[in-house]
Structure 1
């Protein structure tokens, strides 16, 4: 019904719009430009998000052809070069572009942009304000319609779409500004303006593709490090990814900006990378540890910092890796920080880390229930954990839920497994001094 309504509204606007005085030759050139650009959408750094380079042609038509011409150009998306699109999706995309173009054209006219023809004196100064408003309108209409269809199809939540919209808006607006360039060049070189703009458009597309590929390379690097850590104990496999997810849930709940959310995702994945520097015999020891062995465990955050400190994109994540075993009462490690001395990233990871440890199976005990783990977080709030972070995690947990890992089958060649877990606040490590357990 939603798709039908959007398509019907777009069709109604195009059918009833006045096309008197429309420059059909200009429309034809812009349609060709639109189809060429739309056949090669740009990948944004937001996962699974792509933006059509046709935004430039659409915004150029707003300036040069008015609301009716922009709506008519938008309908050409039905014959897009992206052949993988089903007919229904093509129709929805065409309606989306038509409605966005028409709305942007109306805003441009209302703000007086159409009173200044391209090529006139001080044209850019006169139209930049109306054009930016039109571009924002065009992008917001497209994002609103995309959000509507994804939420109704249950492919995304409204909260998730709103969270990602900020980065999407800036990417889309960037491409939209090429429309002003086309319109400004048109009086002097006519159709060649469209060809001239193709080069910077596709250079911008290439640059975004490189940024996305770099982001994927970062993720692959982190995944490899996590896998190396988790090979030391098969019972902890998947732990890093779950801590990363829990940390992101908290970060979003307390309103961290997207860049910090991404950084804490990395920190959660790598929080235990320092275990690579701890002897496996110590990590997997069955029975009380010596003070020397406990010191090796407590140094793993510092070893983690040494391992990843040269990875430039981690930034604030390094503090989370270094201090995620500190406690609010100052009795944590490695530095014995207390309260607000503990970096925010570390306070976030600490809660996610402990929760996953409690709700995961271990060789020496079955997983605790989510209710038991929640009760332990509340009991330790203020003493071990930051109460603000605990409250944020519990709110996010109630909204998003949690999928604890299932039972773990030991591999056939497993000689020994960890019998203690330094991440579990309910099972402190046992230490010996002069042979006596304590």
Structure 2
């Protein structure tokens, strides 16, 4: 069972208690229980289908309930689906209770705001665009409650710093919820029309098409991840000295890209670049990768072919985009002394310059068979010393800022053991040798 901190359990219990209070019906409030049962059953069915296909929650039905019903009755719509839908992780009961309570509070808030603004009266004789005002305000309330509760559980259960818990969470949630809110409003209008609930269900047809398309996209993304994972596992099996190195470089690359303000799609592409940067090792003889002692010049030249091997392997994988250039050029240096083509300065693709810094940083801070990991501070000092000659100063600066903001806690080293970020440097190590590990005997 996954451990849930005691403070997070207390927080969930408080949210559940608040949700139970919201379910108390107000006196003398007319309620269409037929509508409650229909909407609750529809939401439960759509939730089971959506969860099985990993396409998210059917918010239009919940918001339609918020537009049509009093707050306590609208909140009931969420309960069957939230309590019956599968959860991916344990403890299942706690997670189901949390999900049910969160949605109950969000729907209650949306219904309350919508009713206070006279939204249910507008639905009888729709007056557009005025009908959008209470509906839009209700959607904002729904989204606000979800993000406030999500932020709280992130801070308490996942130990996310309070300064970052709610940053951007509301704006990321608002767009999808607004689209669902518009569909829910259309359902509510048709429900109150002479055509009745059957016509309202037609609104879900385009949503089902959208969910199907999203499911296809999700499956395609899963296939991409499986392709990358298979390549990385093959490299890790062949070169046990760098097991876990690819994943850590991917994480460091992502930190740099985010610090540079790149959009999410490009951040993901650069993460792929970091993960796959050493895939060309599959074309290098295993005896060279595992050789003890110094390499001969001929052996080094063979190993230095791995960026070209890697590029040939990933050249036909179209979804990788600029990651392919990073695989080919991540050993180039700003002063032109790198390989395979000796590119200089800005002629080196930006993606490759990001991966080069991430690669060198992890090489210095990871334990290898022939030396211990260096402290993060020492690795940063070495990167800064080599900035402008070997590494792009802009990328080094971005990594330094990201490390200051988030820290660095690699979970796996080359020998498969946890590596503290403050590991001692190997005694007698000449200055500058750490950065050379990124193109040296074991970290090429």
Q: The TM-score by the shorter chain falls in which range?
A: 0.7 to 0.9
Root-mean-square deviation (Å): 3.6
1:327-379 per-position Cα deviation (integer Å, ceiling 9, x unaligned): 23333233433444433322221111011212334444343343432331222
Alignment of 1:19-418 (within 5 A): 20-42=29-51, 51-53=56-58, 55-74=59-78, 79-82=83-86, 88-109=94-115, 113-117=119-123, 120=126, 123=128, 125-128=129-132, 130-154=134-158, 159=164, 162=167, 169-186=174-191, 187-193=193-199, 195-197=201-203, 199-280=205-286, 283=289, 286-290=293-297, 294-398=300-404, 399-403=406-410, 405-406=412-413, 408=415
Question: Any gaps of 5 or more consecutive residues in structure 1?
Answer: 410-422, 432-438
CA contact (8 A) 2:66 2:107 kept: yes
Q: Bigger shift: 359-368 or 181-190?
A: 359-368
Q: Bigger shift: 11-20 or 302-311?
A: 11-20
CA contact (8 A) 1:108 1:130 kept: yes
Counterpart for residue 417 of structure 1: none
Structure 2 vs 1, CA of residues 167 and 318 (structure 1 numbering), >3 Å: closer, same or farther?
farther
Counterpart for residue 11 of structure 2: 2
Equivalent position to 2:436, from 401, 405, 426:
426
SS at match of 1:426: helix
**For residues 173 and 335 of structure 1, what CA distance do their matches in structure 2 show?**
50
**For residues 429 and 255 of structure 1, what CA distance do their matches in structure 2 show?**
28
TM-score, scaled relative to structure 2 = 0.77
TM-score, scaled relative to structure 1 = 0.78
Residue 222 of structure 1: how far off its partner (Å): 0.7
**For residues 135 and 377 of structure 2, what CA distance do their matches in structure 1 show?**
54
CA contact (8 A) 1:42 1:205 kept: no
CA contact (8 A) 1:33 1:57 kept: yes
Structure 2 vs 1, CA of residues 79 and 288 (structure 1 numbering), >3 Å: closer, same or farther?
closer
1:415-435 per-position Cα deviation (integer Å, ceiling 9, x unaligned): xxxxxxxx963358799xxxx
**For residues 407 and 349 of structure 1, what CA distance do their matches in structure 2 show?**
19
Residue 237 of structure 1: how far off its partner (Å): 1.9
The count of residues paired between Structure 1 and Structure 2 equals: 410
Q: Bigger shift: 248-257 or 397-406?
A: 397-406
Residue 194 of structure 1: how far off its partner (Å): 5.4
Residue 216 of structure 1: how far off its partner (Å): 1.9
Structure 2 vs 1, CA of residues 210 and 424 (structure 1 numbering), >3 Å: closer, same or farther?
farther
CA contact (8 A) 2:187 2:201 kept: no
